[in-house]
Structures are given as structure tokens and as C-alpha cells.
Amino acid sequence: MTALVTGASSGLGAEFARQLAARGHDVVLVARSKDRLDALAADLRQRHGVRADVFAHDLAQPGAPERVVADLSTVGIAVDLLVNNAGFGTAGRFEEIPAGRDTDQLMVNVVSVVALTRLLVPAMLARGGGGVINVGSTAGFQPSPYFAAYSAAKTFVLNFSLALREEYRGRGLRVLALCPGPTRTAFFDTVGERAAIGARMMPADAVVRAALRAFDRDRGYVVPGLGNSLGAHLSPRRPRRLVAAIAKRVTRGVLDPA
């Protein structure tokens, strides 16, 4: 079995690669940083005796998913499990986020997820099945002021995953949405520690273990961590304007002090 992991150079992506390789899966590692991917691939080969291929691509760039699949074809790799993990977030007042940053974010967090899934799923079905794990977030369960584009993207990931799961039920393809809360990764190096909004961060290895357990059990989505799960499931969903107003009281902590 071969798993393709995007955003594999650090954080959850690197941890997915490690745990899948420990299960004996060959891995394809995709991210921008070739040096870090090469180092991880060498370590996985040595530790687990698996095949580990590296493709350096920036998924914010148009056509990147197609280039990834072209690379797979060149070396004759068939992907059985796609882990759409690559992503980053923006936080703060929408008009103050640097121009183009949210567009890049949506290219990585949404467009590449759809494109890679569309490009790889048909071959999985033709071979009798496979799997897709899409990394969302607890931010996807409600509108989140000051994380407007990020939370909207993660809502897309959750609904996209659940819809595909129903489409492919009984056809041999499993689809899981992983919806972690704050996790100790490089994500917070980009958006800042305040983006955790005071929540306790989970270690990446625990989040990935929960994801793989849920995938093994063919669950539709999983929210690792009791506190995260309670927050995701007990928060009100309507009226939507009230939910957004309540969320604002929590998320405004991400702003710089006046």
C-alpha cells in the first residue's frame, strides 16, 4: 500500500508519514521544502524499510496537483491512500491580512484538496478501493471571526469529505475528515500562539493516532481530544448570527492588544 501525504515536511504531515511507514506503507512525501522531505524520506527508509519518494511542489501554485500526479506517473506509483494535510491559516482583521495571502490559503486548503482527490480517486476505484483523509479543523464547525477564510475553508473540507463518504459508501473507498483542535505544529509559527485562543495544544502524534484509528473504523470524521470534541459537538449551530457573535468573543483574543 502506498500513501501520499501533502504538507509532509513537518507537523501533522510528517507524523502521518512516520506512522504510516511504521505500519509498513510506502509513502510519497509532498511539500515545498525538498531538503526536509529528503531527510524524512531517508529516515523512514532506514527505520522501516519502506519506499519513500519525494516530490517538491508548492500547492498554492495553479497546476501543482496535476504536476504531482504527473510525477507519480513518471515513476509508476499508484496511490492507495491520499492524505490531504497541506495547509496554513491566517488570523486577524480581514482587511489587514496581506493581499493575496488568503487566496494562497484557499488554493492550498481547498483547491488542491479537491484537485488531488479528483485526480487520484478514479484509479483507486478502478483497483477496487482506497482511502482519503482530509485534514480539517474544529474551526470548521462554526464561523470564526478573525479567522474568516480559514474557518470557511475548513467547513468546506468537512462537508466535502462527508459528502464524498456517502457517495463512495459500499464502493470500497473510505473518506475521513480529521478535525483537530490546536495542535503543536508549525501552524502556530505562522499565525502566532494567540491563535490557540487559550486552548491546550495536543501533540501531533496523538492527533495522527486518533485519525488512523478512526480511518480503520471507517468513521466519517473525528475530533481528537475530549475537550475539542465537546466544544465541536455541544456548541450551538443556530441562529447563525448569534453563533458568529459568540465566536467573535472567543476569537478576538487573536488580535494584537490595542
Cα distances (Å, whole numbers) of residue 249 to 109, 144, 241, 253, 254: 25, 10, 13, 8, 11
Decide if 150 is catalytic.
yes
Model pLDDT, residue 169 = 93
Residues 6+ apart with CB under 8 A from 14: 8, 40, 204
Which CATH number belongs to the domain containing residue 74 in this structure?
3.40.50.720
Structural domains of the chain, count: 1
Model pLDDT, residue 10 = 95
The model carries a pTM of 0.90
pLDDT tens-place values along the chain, 258 residues long: 999 999 999 999 999 999 999 999 999 999 999 999 999 999 999 999 999 999 999 999 999 999 999 999 999 999 999 999 999 999 999 999 999 999 999 999 999 999 999 999 999 999 999 999 999 999 999 999 999 999 999 999 999 999 999 999 999 999 999 999 998 876 656 555 555 565 678 999 999 999 999 999 999 999 999 888 887 787 766 677 766 777 777 777 778 654
Other CB atoms within 10 Å distance of the CB of residue 199? 15
Report d(CA 21, CA 7) in Å as an integer: 16
- Vertex 51: Cα angle to 45 and 54 (nearest 5): 90
Q: Which residues form the domain of 126?
A: 2-226+234-254
Question: Of these residues, 146, 150, 168, 221, which one is catalytic?
Answer: 150
Model pLDDT, residue 236 = 63
